[in-house]
Amino acid sequence: MRIRCGLDSYPVLIDAGLLDQFGTYARKYLASETCVVISDNNVAPLFANCIRQSLASAGFRPTLITIPAGEKSKTLKQAGVICDRMVATGLDRRSFVVGLGGGMIGDLSGFVAAIYHRGIPHIQIPTTLLAMVDSSIGGKTAVDTRAGKNLIGAFHQPSLVIDDLNVLRTLPRREYTQGFAEIIKHAVIADTRMFRALESWKPGDMPALQRVITRNIEIKSRIVARDERDRTGTRAVLNFGHTIGHAIERAGNYSKFLHGEAVSLGMVAACTVSVAKAGLRREQHDAIVSLLKHFRLPTRLPPKFPRRKILDAVMVDKKFEDGKIRFVVTPRIGVAYIAKNVTLGNIRDAVRAL
């Protein structure tokens, strides 16, 4: 499939067994010889050699940079270290970056591509379900700061996205399952039919998985195309569950919950707010919570989790504008919008209910 966003257009390939031919695909879209593959120490041992060999076979000269796994590596300092390595290796403005990994690697490698020589091409090879259906699409790149998540970043659309379904077989159950949080989010905000299909989901159905990944990319790319740089508020509906979800991640020091798990909790809270402020019926609230549970995603915080830190983190969220929160609510499954009447009190009550 092909994604069109503003003046940019790029292909997304979705199939099993794509990595072996990655160099051929890259050569079709990029003419330069030098490139860097950025990965982490969990993913690189599994796939980096295959990627490098495929690139070399296609006439590229790849350099591998491996960083520690985990959200704590997604920093401005780490981006600087990578850029220094790229300079030392001789990469120039005609080179390109390959991000091989989950959402953290995609965000960081995309940010590096956006700032190196004021912007060079970026190829996404997401290795998690969550990254395939969400973070690899849309061109948002960023690093975290002590104050919050993704506060320093740039819009930089990829040149190519490769979704090899075989890599999902290597994921631990928890890593795989967290991807369904973003899938459920897309269903809640834009696709009632997909929501109902997920309610009867059968694990291990690879053709169905390929179809649902394709559908999620269609949903996200359609929303992004209307508001690429998040200026009109249309794109902001993709943040359903993320305002509180990001705050939960930070309150847990990015170690208690995976991103998708935090988004799951954030969606439960957003549904509580939606009941109060958007007229979401209780039975639909319960259906969303039930679907999250169906995919073994968390819907309650541990009793001793520092809830006060969640509220502190919400206050520095980048979705605050002029002191007002852009909070996404759903009045019914399949629809979402930005509410103007949500208060910190509403958020506090929703967090307390978790």
Query: What percent of the chain shows pLDDT beyond 70?
Result: 97
pTM score, whole prediction = 0.91
Residue 321 has a pLDDT of 59
Cα(94)–Cα(101) distance, integer angstroms:
23
Cβ-Cβ contacts under 8 Å for 2 (sequence gap 6 or more) = 9, 10, 11, 12
Per-residue pLDDT tens for 308-335?
A: 999 888 877 655 555 567 899 999 999 9
**What mean pLDDT is predicted for residues 206-217?**
94
**β-strands 34-40, 61-67 pairing:** parallel
Are 319 and 243 contacting, i.e. CB atoms less than 8 angstroms apart? yes
pLDDT tens digit sequence for 51-110: 999 999 999 999 999 999 999 999 999 999 999 999 999 999 999 999 999 999 999 999
Structure tokens at 331: 């009045």
Q: In Å, what is the CA distance from 311 to each residue of 299, 314, 317?
A: 18, 5, 10
What is the DSSP code string of 37-98? Answer: EEEETTTHHHHHHHHHHHHHHTT-EEEEEEE-SSGGG-BHHHHHHHHHHHHHHT--TT-EEE
Q: Tell me the domains of the chain and their CATH numbers.
A: 2-170 (3.40.50.1970), 173-353 (1.20.1090.10)
List the beta bridge partners of residue 253: none
